Amino acid sequence: MRNYSVFFMLALICSSLAWAEEPAVPAAPGTAATDAPVLPAAKIDGVGPDWKILGEEDFQNVNCAEDTWSWKDGVLFCTGKPVGVIKKKTPVTNFELVLEWNHRKSAGNSGVFVWVPETSLAKLTKPGLPHGIEVQVLDHGYTEQYEKGGKKADWFTSNGDTFPVGVKMTPFPPLSKNGERSFPKYKTTKGHGEWNHYYIRAINGEVRLWVNGTEVSGGNNIEPRTGFLCLESEGSPIEFRNIRIRELP
């Protein structure tokens, strides 16, 4: 009986050590992110009390062509041309947002804009992008294409950067070399042709991003901390689906 007890204790200790395996170490400022942590992903699917599905009736074209954005079977398709945005018709302050996105081509570029000022949208009378907090939606091929000319892609990544455009934000480390972007701590983004899951939490002047269930980037001390939610068209076809929001006090 004693031998069985010893065996059981050894098995329990080995099991505990396996579960205690350390996650990957976050990247240092200005360096590449590491692979996803060992711990299981924690995806939020946007289903439950107070969550709302966002569909065609919830968005409005700002400065794109009439055929830039189209809906079919719950999927939002963007041609990528011209550069511009659509906005959620009503502004938001504190909220949680989930969505999935899929670049249709390599090197695709897009983004989700948070807390866009109405004054910035009013100025978009031709192709261009607004001010606000941009949560980058970039395909890995963009980095490869950029570096083909001998340039170093050290000021952006394709794993979920968060950064201010014409507004104030203190980015969370690790940072880009110029200190303006919150670089992702982990590499969890899938390549073009695959669906990626974003969970964005924007509360009291702070934005945090989870990519495929892992928190990667964000920032705080944001001003303004209320405004419009926008989706970006920037040169390449992309699809969005399962767009859900839960507005908070």
What gap in Å lies between CA 7 and CA 18, rounded to an integer?
17
Predicted confidence band of residue 23 (pLDDT cuts 50, 70, 90): very low
> Token pair 């982990």 is at which residue?
186
Angle at 50 between CA 213 and CA 210, to 5 degrees: 15
**Nearest residue to 101 via CA among 141, 135, 66:** 135
CA of residue 69 relative to chain centroid, distance: 20
Neighbours of 148 (CB within 10 A): 8
> Token pair 């396996």 is at which residue?
18
C-beta separation of 160 from 217 below 8 A? yes
* Mean of pLDDT over the chain: 88
The yes/no answer on whether domain 2-248 falls in CATH 2.60.120.560 is yes
Lowest pLDDT segment from 23-32, 106-115, 201-210, 221-230: 23-32
What is the pTM (predicted TM-score) of this model?
0.86
CA atoms within 13 A on the CB side of 24: 19
pLDDT tens digits, 80-133: 999 999 999 999 999 999 999 999 999 999 999 999 999 999 999 999 999 999
Predicted confidence band of residue 43 (pLDDT cuts 50, 70, 90): confident
**How big is the chain by its Cα radius of gyration, in Å?**
20
Q: Where are the domains of the chain?
A: 2-248
| CB burial of residue 166 (10 Å; 0-12, 13-18, 19+) | exposed
Q: What is the pLDDT of residue 37?
A: 67
CA of residue 130 relative to chain centroid, distance: 17
